[in-house]
Chains A and B, each alone.
Chain A
Amino acid sequence: MTPGQMVVYILIAVGMTLLTRSLPFLIFRNGRSIPQFVLWMGRQLPGAAMAMLVVYCLKDVRFGSGKEWIPALAACLMTVLLHVRRRNMMISIVGGTMLYMLLLRLI
């Protein structure tokens, strides 16, 4: 690939990213009223989006040998459990991540 072609690729990546991030704002520009359904969905979406992101993060975990899924599953359980018990974001994240790093090295 020539440097010129590389620039084209980077511009495409910038353009497509900008497009997906700004499309809702472009469609409902200032002045144009946002339909009730879209506002309602906007309030509902974080729940679905977070669940989607968690699955997205774990998509590369393979279930063949325990080396991958045991640390991932245990760390996820630890994170949720800590959070339900203490409801402190930092404790839950640090606890889960440390358990994950530890199990990666032990298993």
Chain B
Amino acid sequence: MRKKAQVFRRAFPVTLPVLAGYIFLGVAYGIAMKARGFSAALVFFISTFVYGGSLQFAMIEPLCSSFAPVTFAFLCLLIQARHLFYGLTMLEAYSQTGKVRPYLVFSLTDETYSIVCQGPPQDLPTELWYAAVSVLNQTYWVTGTLLGAMLGSVMPMEHLEGIDFSMTALFLVILTEQIMDAVGLWRKGKATLKDSLFSSALGAAATVGSLLIFGKESFLLSSMAFILFSFGAKYRIDRGRGKP
């Protein structure tokens, strides 16, 4: 029991940026749902079981329109497809997490991924760390959306406008961290600069390129396909040259 509390205490500061972002976006979502006449109970239910911010926002409109389940299923896939990458990254790390594994997989959001993909601190039990980060983040999201649905009209949202940038900043900081690590490896002579920066450069180029070509409604799928294809090509080329 003491151990659990200790892990949560260590995980909490790491999840603070997510706390700020999830509460703000959650409140905004709760207010939007309430404005459409949906109940706080429904908001709680959706936040608990769908648990995906971008999809939850995107499905407000469809929930108020006519019934078209097939189209809606495709919309869901289109929005959520990026999660495939997160599962691929965490395959190895999550394979040893035992009983909590189903929950870890279920709750692998963008924000949770951005924290867990950096690996657990060495002195803490791995599965407890992953579980603590995942539980804390979902708690923030569900709390935020409930707050919005229940107290939406009295919340001073306009004073908080822009606080959702904390999410962008979180991803940007982790990207910067990855690039600094990559440059560090290169300086130590452990990798070529091209190899160590390949992934981030590919991700940025593919996503910006697809956004310019396909527009913001459907750029993620083509970007992901291009990234996967490029990794495949690089792997084959490197292996042909005898690199691992």
Contact = CB atoms under 8 A, between A and B. Distances in A.
Interface of A: 1-2, 5-6, 8-10, 12-14, 16-25, 28, 30, 34, 37-60, 71-72, 75-76, 79-80, 83-84, 87, 89-90, 92-94, 96-97, 100-101, 104
Contacts, number: 243
Nearest to B223: A52
A39 B77 CA distance: 24
Given A44-B198, A101-B161, 12 more contacts: A1-B65, A12-B73, A13-B52, A25-B94, A46-B199, A47-B198, A48-B206, A50-B171, A50-B178, A76-B169, A79-B172, A97-B166
Interface string B160-173: 01110111111111
B106 A51 contact: no
B195 to A, nearest CB: 10
A5 B69 CA distance: 9
A10, A48, A83, most chain B CB atoms within 10 A: A48
20 contacts: A9-B62, A10-B45, A13-B50, A17-B55, A17-B80, A20-B80, A22-B106, A25-B91, A40-B244, A46-B174, A47-B203, A50-B203, A53-B171, A55-B208, A55-B211, A76-B172, A80-B176, A83-B176, A87-B177, A89-B14
B84 interface: yes
Contact of A38 (B72, B88, B220): B88
Which of B14, B171, B177 has the largest number of chain A CB atoms within 10 A? B171
Given A101-B161, A101-B162, A24 B216 contact: no
User: Contact size class for B?
Assistant: 35 or more
Kindly list the 5 A-B residue pairs having the minimum CB-CB distance in the complex, ordered from nearest: A47-B199, A48-B203, A51-B203, A24-B87, A16-B76
Interface of B: 13-14, 16-17, 20, 45-46, 49-52, 55-56, 59, 62-67, 69, 72-73, 76-77, 80-92, 94-95, 101, 105-106, 108, 110, 113-114, 117-118, 161-163, 165-180, 182, 198-204, 206-208, 211, 216, 219-220, 223-224, 227-228, 231-232, 235, 244
A40 B171 contact: no
Contacts of B173: 79, 83, 89, 92-93
Contacts of B83: 17, 20-21
B114 A53 contact: yes
